[in-house]
Amino acid sequence: MKRAFQKPGRSREYGKALAREIDYLGLDSVAIVGIISLFVGAVVTIQTALNLDDPFIPAYYIAIATRESIVLEFSPTMVSLILAGKVGSNIASTLGTMRVSEQIDALEVMGVNSASYLVMPKVLASMLFNPVLIMLSMGLGLLGGYIAGNLTGVISTPDYLLGIQLGFKPFYITYALTKTVVFAFLITSISAYCGYTVKGGAVEVGTSSTRAVVSSSVAVIVANYFLTQILLGT
Amino acid sequence: MIEVQNIQKSFGAHEVLKGIDAQFEQGKTNLIIGQSGSGKTVFLKCLVGLHEPDNGAILFNDRNTAQLDQKERQLLRQEIGMVFQGSALFDSLTVEENVMFPLNMFTRMGPGEKKDRVDFCLNRVKLEGANKKYPAEISGGMMKRVAIARSIAMNPKYLFCDEPNSGLDPQTAVVIDNLVREITQEYGITTVINTHDMNSVMEIGDHIIFLKNGLKAWEGDRHEIIRSDQPDITEFVFTSELFKSIRKAQRSG
Ligand SMILES: Nc1ncnc2c1ncn2[C@@H]1O[C@H](COP(=O)(O)OP(=O)(O)OP(=O)(O)O)[C@@H](O)[C@H]1O
Ligand SMILES: [Mg+2]
């Protein structure tokens, strides 16, 4: 694994590989992240509204609660878990197939550091692009809440717009993005490790892809606990 | 020239290579033959450095691979071309991009120059009109040709082929064999080929090494192998009726 982070050879080729991975691992996930965020934002708003159905609690509290759930937890953690499933299995099966069909050996014989050529662009692409996805998710989550509030009438538009701005702490964004970057690193490096070290054939490639998703999801959940304690801990 | 001294390689308790000495000369097609499982692939992978031998030395024109630093090893690898048993083409790249890959990685050629080199290599293996296809869209024989084209793209000094014609029809197999031999002679490459195909042995066996039970059981050329009386060899060579009848004819004539 250490070899994966060594200095690459021809940087232009690594640049091209990075662009390809951003396209493949990042842009390709925009749709799924968008749809999920929109609907979860809507659901969170409705549920919060039902739970805070008390005349003594101002309506804009619903929007505050929605905002905090999305920014602190849903977008960085849940979306990262979804990406662990999508991106993790993709990375493990791609690298696993390259391993068992000797494509990795072919790279090595040519004198290419296969670990760094194949793994590093994927890790970097996710660490760079997942924050963009998460910001998008936050935006669309809040939009989903806005639409749901409008459609169901659980919260009025002015209350919602007031609530999502009230007492907003910019540090929460920093916190969310820090988590995102750490999760992206965990997901891609664990999955790459699972795929890169496959021995055997098609069956083992499948197994490694499952193992990649399970291990990286667990890693995300555990890391989430510690990061929360470190960054928000009192 | 490649010199191999007392190469040993085990996987756990399983001794695959038990000490093999060999010399492979430049401009010749050197064949490694032996039954399936006799360790041909392991031997070839030791030569190119994909397996670390447990013991012994490998010298590429007097450069001992064990004594090279990382940079020198990298440079040596750029002098090596390899055709894998399963072709090992990059399946996310087209035929053309596969052949261009080492040029992109290791040379400072301009786009036009690279294109010319790729066309030249694909021409050399007599593969035209498939440039934009992906490996999944071409036949096994074409994949072998692309693999050969990719392996010669960097003008290698050493060429290793692991069963370059396995799984091909006899005609295509002969074409591939002769192609490898022509390239070897034309560019003075030191070529080592794994095979268990007796046709290839008779066609291009300039120098043949027979592996059995992890040892070199026999060594010679294609004229000698057919006359050999060593039981291991006769057993391996004269399994098919065709070769049995050749032998009969030879004995009586
Ligand atoms: N990575 C490995 N780990 C453990 N054992 C291995 C490994 N590679 C090869 N072997 C063992 O080494 C022996 C020789 O295998 P090898 O692939 O070299 O045979 P081969 O002569 O190339 O056969 P074939 O003609 O079928 O390709 C086999 O018994 C195989 O099980
Ligand atoms: Mg083999």
Q: What is the ipTM of this complex?
A: 0.91
Provide the residue range defining the domain that includes A116: 3-232
Determine contact: A23 vs chain B, CB below 8 A: no
* Chain A residues close to B85, C-beta within 8 Å: 102
* Chain B residues close to A110, C-beta within 8 Å: 77-78, 80, 101-102, 105-106, 154
Q: Write the pLDDT tens digit of every residue in B93-137.
A: 999 999 999 999 998 889 999 999 999 999 988 888 899 999 999
Segment 175-204 of chain B within 8 Å of chain A by CB? none
The packing angle between helices B140-152 and B170-187, to 10°, is 10
Task: Specify the residue with its C-alpha closest to ligand 1, atom 2.
Answer: B11
> Among B9, B7, B30, which Cα is nearest to B20's?
B7
> Among B57, B39, B28, which Cα is nearest to B159's?
B28
Tokens 């193992």 correspond to A211
* Chain A residues close to B89, C-beta within 8 Å: 103
Determine contact: B102 vs chain A, CB below 8 A: yes
**d(Cα B203, Cα B181) in Å, to the nearest integer?**
9
| pLDDT(A93) > 50 | yes
Determine contact: A201 vs chain B, CB below 8 A: no
- Could you tell me how many helices (H) and strands (E) chain B has, helices first? 10, 10
Tokens 């609690």 correspond to A57
| Domains of chain B (ranges, CATH numbers) | 2-79+158-252 (3.40.50.300), 88-155 (no CATH)
| pLDDT(A7) > 60 | no
**d(Cα A137, Cα A36) in Å, to the nearest integer?**
8
- Angle (CA) B157-B162-B166 rounded to 5° is 135
pLDDT classification of A4: cutoffs 50, 70, 90: low
Q: Write the pLDDT tens digit of every residue in B37-54.
A: 999 999 999 999 999 999
Q: Write the pLDDT tens digit of every residue in B139-168.
A: 988 999 999 999 999 999 999 999 998 878
Tokens 């060429």 correspond to B159
At A3 the pLDDT is 60
Tokens 């929605």 correspond to A66
Q: Write the pLDDT tens digit of every residue in B172-210.
A: 888 889 989 999 999 999 999 999 888 889 889 999 999
At A232 the pLDDT is 87
Determine contact: A199 vs chain B, CB below 8 A: no
**d(Cα A9, Cα B74) in Å, to the nearest integer?**
10
- Angle (CA) B51-B202-B36 rounded to 5° is 40
| Atom nearest to B34 CA in ligand 1 | 21
Per DSSP, helices labelled H in A10-77 are 11-21, 30-51, 60-68
Give me the residues near ligand 2 (ion), CB cutoff below 5 Å.
B 41
At B152 the pLDDT is 93
More confident call, A176 vs A56: A176
At A8 the pLDDT is 46
Amino acid at A160: Y
pTM for this entry: 0.90
| Atom nearest to B40 CA in ligand 1 | 21
Residues with CB under 6 A from ligand 1: B 11, 16, 34, 36-42, 196
- Angle (CA) A71-A76-A78 rounded to 5° is 105
- The total of structural domains in chain A comes to 1
Tokens 């090992």 correspond to B88
**DSSP state string for A147-193:** HHHHHH-SS-HHHHHHHHHTT--HHHHHHHHHHHHHHHHHHHHHHHH
Task: Specify the residue with its C-alpha closest to ligand 1, atom 24.
Answer: B36
**d(Cα A34, Cα A134) in Å, to the nearest integer?**
10
Task: Specify the residue with its C-alpha closest to ligand 1, atom 19.
Answer: B37
**d(Cα A2, Cα A11) in Å, to the nearest integer?**
19
A36 vs chain B: nearest CA distance in angstroms? 30
Which CA distances in Å does A13 have to A5, A49, A99, B47, B94?
16, 52, 21, 28, 16
Q: Write the pLDDT tens digit of every residue in A180-210.
A: 999 999 999 999 999 999 999 999 999 999 9
**d(Cα A89, Cα A14) in Å, to the nearest integer?**
22
Q: How is residue B216 annotated by DSSP?
A: E
Determine contact: A51 vs chain B, CB below 8 A: no
| pLDDT(A2) > 70 | no
Which CA distances in Å does B34 have to B53, B217, B242?
20, 9, 19
pLDDT classification of B246: cutoffs 50, 70, 90: confident
Rounded to the nearest 5°, which phi and psi values hold at B47? -60, -45
SS3 content of chain A, % helix, strand, coil (to 5): 85, 0, 15
